[in-house]
Amino acid sequence: MKTLKISLVALLFVFCGKVFSQGGSIGASDARSMGMAKTYTASSFGLYSLGINPANLYRDSTKKVELIIPLPLPNITANVGTNFMTIDEYNYFFGYSTTDSTGKKIGRYLNTADKQRLKDLFADGGTFTSDLEVRLFAVSVKPNDKFGTIAFSISDVISSNVTFPKGIIDLGIDGNLPNKVFNFNDTALKSWWLRKYSLSYARGLDIFPFFKSFSFGVSFNIISGYAYAGLDHVNTQLTTGDGNVITGKGDFLAYSAFSPDFHVKYDFDSTSTKQDASVSMFPTPAGGGFGFDFGFNAKISESTSIAFAVTDIGSVTWDKNAAQYSSNKAIYLDDLSNKDQIDSLKNALTGKNGGKYISSFSTPLATALRLGIAIQLDKMLDGNFPGKMLLAFDYNQGFNDQPRNSKNPRFSLGADWMLGVIALRTGFSFGGFDKFNWGMGIGFDFKILELNFGTPDMQYVFASNSAKRITFAFDSRWKF
């Protein structure tokens, strides 16, 4: 039984690793908005509104030209972690080791309470995410109010979501008890590297007399995809019977595609030879697509505005080195010493011998809906407030579970308090993937140059052992 536990737990890692090692509404944003707990729909302005609400390119824009380049600070936002397990919990269950009297390293033996606690952690599945966004270049020009604002930007996104199924934990803890069913249908993996070339336009419209002002914006995005690996579905389950008999079915479908410059060698392609990857700023795309964003921002009073946007409407078609891995095989195991049965089990779970080249496949972008309200508190109080205080509220809803997105709605509150050249920011976010964020950030506005630093996970700075993820953002913007 112990051997079976170890073998099957290892198989999941083989499944999630080997198949792909051949190679939104919650996503990262600019440092200012991250410090406001990812509150941005009505409160991000200028170039920082790209990808969020293009109408804000025009809203409150008093500068003729804005520019984002890697100097003095590159525009980088990074996130890695989970939403279910803290560092303390990870160390307790997986990081602990000691040595026995013979000097052999051994792990922790779990008691009944420990086993239940571990099961509870994975009750909704165990999801790990990583997200890196780098804005390589952006420029906006506003010749005059009548023309509006036009902008161009280039940004890279490297993101992944991996979910380990609850069933693998139950099987690893309970073993192959008779007459139990373990399904792994909640297994998920999606990851990609995308580059977005975005052309945006925004201007005001004087057509709604009940608004103080109204602006609309649209972005047209050309997408270059450099790498993708993802599961389409998993319908795999195992049933344990008497006499350690295991039956079931291994059923899954997965896709991948990689830039030819990466020289990825698939295990089913005997004609290819292993070569070192070619690294450059402009790899040959493995796919391409088109997307667009649109939104509006309306002032209902001198101090209050409302905003709406839908972003990343579109898809990417992957047609270079595109591969499909699939399995739909019956599983039968009654003898752990039978190599053929063990190999058959591995093949059914990992899709070995089930890979092939295909002409192409498509993936949707991380489409999301955004609603926001912003209140300029100092204007509401007729200037009887120190500095400038912006308060904002957001609702974000993803339409799919692509990387950077969540179909769970997310609500957030944020504040930006400008005192001279220093801006202090904070906010709280509820829902989405993270479930809870406390944001905090600081900015420096020297008129011609703006520097920003922020994180939506300030709670973990004060309780590092309870941290579930690490998130940071910093950027700079030139204004003329």
Name the 3-class secondary structure at 322: coil
Is residue 356 over pLDDT 60?
yes
Question: 10 vs 172, 193, 386, CA distance in Å?
Answer: 10, 27, 59
Q: Mean of the per-residue pLDDT values for the chain? A: 88
Give residue 430's domain range.
2-84+122-479
Within-domain flag for 103: no
In a domain, 111, yes or no: no
Mean pLDDT for 342-367 is 85
Does the residue 108 lie in any domain? no
Structure tokens at 459: 């709670």
Confidence (pLDDT) at 60: 60
pLDDT at 303: 95
Residue 95 is assigned to a structural domain of this protein: no
Residue 76: strand pairing partners: 134, 474
pLDDT of residue 62: 65
Q: Would residue 293 count as lying in a domain? A: yes
Owner of token pair 């093949």: 347
pTM (two decimals): 0.88
Task: With a cut of 60, say whether residue 21 has pLDDT above it.
Answer: no
Residue 13 scores a pLDDT above 50:
no
- Rounded CA separation 364/405 (Å): 11
| Rounded CA separation 255/80 (Å) | 23
Q: Residue 80 has what pLDDT? A: 93
- Within a domain: residue 258? yes
Whether residue 254 is contained in a domain is answered as yes
Spatial CB neighbours of 373, under 8 Å, sequence gap ≥ 6: 42, 304, 305, 306, 307, 392, 393
* Residues 128-187 pLDDT 10s: 999 999 999 999 999 998 999 999 999 999 999 999 888 888 877 877 678 888 888 888
Q: What are phi and psi of 377, to 5 degrees?
A: -65, -40
Residue 10 above 60 pLDDT? no
Q: What is the CATH number for 301?
A: 2.40.160
* Structural domain total, the chain: 1
Residue with the bigger pLDDT between 351 and 261: it is 261
Q: Which of 192, 244, 186 is nearest to 12 (CA)?
A: 186
pLDDT level of residue 335 (50, 70, 90 thresholds): confident
Of 43-47, 55-59, 239-243, 272-276, which range is least confident?
Answer: 272-276
Flag whether 115 is in a domain: no
Q: What is the mean pLDDT of residues 386-398?
A: 97
- If one compares 164 and 390, the residue with the highest pLDDT of the two is 390
- With residues binned 3-state (H G I as helix, E B as strand, rest as coil), the percentages for the chain, rounded to 5, are 20, 45, 35
Taking only the tens place, the pLDDT of each residue in 369-379 is 999 999 999 99
Average pLDDT, integer, range 284-297: 97
Residue 204 has pLDDT above 90, yes or no: yes
